[in-house]
Amino acid sequence: MDWPFVIGIILFLVGLMASIALHEIGHLVPAKLFGVKVTQYMVGFGPTLWSRRRGETEYGIKWIPFGGYIRMIGMLPPRAGDAPGTVRSISSGPWQGLIESAREAALEEVRPGDEDRVFYRKPWWKKVIVMAGGPAMNFVLAFILFAVVLMGFGITVSTTEVSSVPECVKTAEAYAQNPRCTDADPASPAAAAGLRPGDVIVSVGGRATETWEEATRAIRGSGAGPVEIGITRDGRPMTLTATLIAQDRESLDEPGKIERVGYLGVTSKQVVEQQSLGAVVEHMGDFTARTAAALIRFPEKMVGVWNAAFSGEERDKDGPIGVVGVSRIGGEIAASDIPLENKAAVFVSLLASFNLAIGMFNLIPLLPLDGGHIAGGLWEGIKRGFARITRRPEPAHVDIAKVLPLTYALAFVMIAVAGLLMYADLVNPIRLAG
């Protein structure tokens, strides 16, 4: 048995459980502060593994570590005209019966003296804070974990110092046959120009370059032909003329796209640098934008997951991945040959990314997600604000029970998606390498 792989999976599941627990604390703390009665705080689903009652709340852990919940009384209001805590007889019709059954089950938890502690009677802004607390906790966790990686471990960055200069230019086929340079192989533009390891590139074509990315883009954009390369060597400024050649390379802006660019033939020296708090904020913003874009393309990407699961197509490394798949990647990280410090940095970064994705997903304004409850609270606030401005009677609480059929349908879809992702992660997983 590959114990490092197993340990990596276990560690990620522990981190996942901790993230879920903190997500639910994000709901629990404001709910209790606002006087909502919380009867259960559970991490996981299925049969209860362990629980203990503290006051009016049962705290526990369940066997299936793929979620969690807190149970607040009075999530659904009675129908207009019904006395608080009572429900009329169920109306005819399958959907109406479903709604009233759920409403009755919700109100059965309300005991005498709990009338002011039900969730639905709280001001709209308190409802929003309670429901937004979970995703907010995920965002805070993601930021802290990204800060640990960027400010603590640091990241590998490419400097403008030249690390190595290949002697010649070889095609992939020629390199596979003989990686050594021969008289038949043309000299690389960098070697022909006299560039050496240790040189620092400061300009390309007369334009100053402060970062390796700027230098790379300038070299690529120059195309084939002569170009001046400004360098410093042993502290002394120099200008060399390199005759660039054209090569097909992957685009820096559009991954997967091949474009014809100028080629010099140097590699940069890489160093590990601790980043600033501003870099963490920038990274968080960039990752949030990319996660939001991925969520928009989620239905399209799930088609690729289906094809990968049942048609054997290659799995999209940027496509959706489930808990099983991410846990497997955690195992691959632990079993890899990279230094322990690098393993820890990649592992923490993976957990940060997962927290950010969970927080973003939960903000989708559809029930049963937190975003659906937040949308309901905001709509109630808008209606009551409009009534106050127009001096109309205060409207009733937003009744989310009316959309329960859609909620159950979406829950079914979410279960199906989770099942498909789990199957794809088992039969055709995304791997770190290969």
DSSP character string of 128-165: HHHHHHHHHHHHHHHHHHHHIIIIII-EEEEEEEEEE-
Distances (CA, A) of 402 to 132, 330, 340, 405, 408: 22, 42, 53, 8, 12
Q: How far apart are CA 131 and CA 23, in angstroms?
A: 10
Q: How far apart are CA 408 and CA 316, in angstroms?
A: 30
> Is 434 a member of any domain?
no
Q: How far apart are CA 409 and CA 283, in angstroms?
A: 36
Q: Which residue has the higher pLDDT, 254 or 128?
A: 128
Task: Report the candidate in 202, 279, 190, 289 with the shortest Cα–Cα distance to residue 237.
Answer: 202
> Is 281 a member of any domain?
no
**Listed range (300-309, 324-333, 398-407) with the worst mean pLDDT:** 398-407
Burial of 15 (0-12, 13-18, 19+ CB in 10 A): buried
Segment 330-334 shows an average pLDDT of 87
Predicted TM-score (pTM) of this structure: 0.80
CATH number of the CATH domain containing 184: 2.30.42.10
**What does the pLDDT read at residue 53?**
94
Boundary of a domain, candidates 247, 273, 299: 273
Q: Share the mean pLDDT of the chain.
A: 86
117, 72: one domain: yes
**What does the pLDDT read at residue 395?**
86
**What does the pLDDT read at residue 8?**
87
Domain count, the chain: 2
Q: What percent of the chain is modeled with pLDDT above 90?
A: 37
Judged against a pLDDT cut of 90, whether residue 339 lies above it is answered with no
For residues 34 and 51, is the Cβ–Cβ distance under 8 A? Answer: no
The torsion of the CA quartet 91, 93, 95, 96, rounded to 10 degrees, works out to: -10
**What does the pLDDT read at residue 332?**
86
Q: Each residue of 381-407: pLDDT tens digit?
A: 999 999 999 988 888 888 777 777 788
> Is 234 a member of any domain?
yes
Segment 326-332 shows an average pLDDT of 86
Judged against a pLDDT cut of 90, whether residue 280 lies above it is answered with yes
Q: How far apart are CA 430 and CA 434, in angstroms?
A: 9
Segment 39-48 shows an average pLDDT of 90
**Listed range (59-68, 128-137, 226-235) with the worst mean pLDDT:** 59-68
14, 139: one domain: yes
Judged against a pLDDT cut of 80, whether residue 108 lies above it is answered with no
Q: Each residue of 139-156: pLDDT tens digit?
A: 999 999 999 999 999 988
Judged against a pLDDT cut of 60, whether residue 80 lies above it is answered with no
Q: How far apart are CA 329 and CA 215, in angstroms?
A: 34
Strand partners, 168: 187
266, 195: one domain: yes
13, 142: one domain: yes
64, 129: one domain: yes
**Listed range (87-96, 157-166, 300-309) with the worst mean pLDDT:** 87-96
Q: What percent of the chain is modeled with pLDDT above 70?
A: 92
Segment 130-136 shows an average pLDDT of 95
Amino acid letter, residue 142: A
First to last CA, the chain: 22
131, 213: one domain: no
Q: How far apart are CA 327 and CA 212, in angstroms?
A: 34
**What does the pLDDT read at residue 99?**
57
266, 373: one domain: no
358, 254: one domain: no
> Is 84 a member of any domain?
yes
Segment 56-73 shows an average pLDDT of 89
Segment 297-324 shows an average pLDDT of 85
Judged against a pLDDT cut of 80, whether residue 354 lies above it is answered with yes
Catalytic residue status for 24: yes
Give the active site residue among 24, 100, 161, 380. 24
Judged against a pLDDT cut of 60, whether residue 434 lies above it is answered with no
**What does the pLDDT read at residue 257?**
82
**Listed range (18-22, 166-170, 340-344, 402-406) with the worst mean pLDDT:** 402-406
pLDDT-derived band at 93, boundaries 50, 70, 90: very low
Write out the residue range of the structural domain in which residue 248 sits.
Answer: 156-273
133, 207: one domain: no
Q: Which residue has the higher pLDDT, 94 or 199?
A: 199
Boundary of a domain, candidates 218, 249, 273: 273
> Is 178 a member of any domain?
yes
pLDDT-derived band at 1, boundaries 50, 70, 90: low
> Is 230 a member of any domain?
yes
Task: Report the candidate in 351, 368, 369 with the shortest Cα–Cα distance to residue 360.
Answer: 369
**What does the pLDDT read at residue 113?**
78
207, 92: one domain: no
List Cβ neighbours of 399 (8 Å cut-off, separation of 6 or more).
Answer: 76, 77, 79
177, 243: one domain: yes
Burial of 349 (0-12, 13-18, 19+ CB in 10 A): buried
Boundary of a domain, candidates 273, 289, 313: 273
> Is 90 a member of any domain?
yes
Judged against a pLDDT cut of 90, whether residue 125 lies above it is answered with yes
Strand partners, 42: 60, 69
Q: How far apart are CA 376 and CA 372, in angstroms?
A: 6
**What does the pLDDT read at residue 349?**
92
> Is 289 a member of any domain?
no
- Find the angle CA(365)-CA(67)-CA(144) to the nearest 5 degrees: 80
Judged against a pLDDT cut of 60, whether residue 97 lies above it is answered with no
**What does the pLDDT read at residue 86?**
47
pLDDT-derived band at 329, boundaries 50, 70, 90: confident
Judged against a pLDDT cut of 80, whether residue 282 lies above it is answered with yes
33, 129: one domain: yes
Q: How far apart are CA 301 and CA 130, in angstroms?
A: 32
pLDDT-derived band at 89, boundaries 50, 70, 90: very low
**What does the pLDDT read at residue 251?**
83
Judged against a pLDDT cut of 60, whether residue 95 lies above it is answered with no
**What does the pLDDT read at residue 394?**
85
Judged against a pLDDT cut of 70, whether residue 238 lies above it is answered with yes
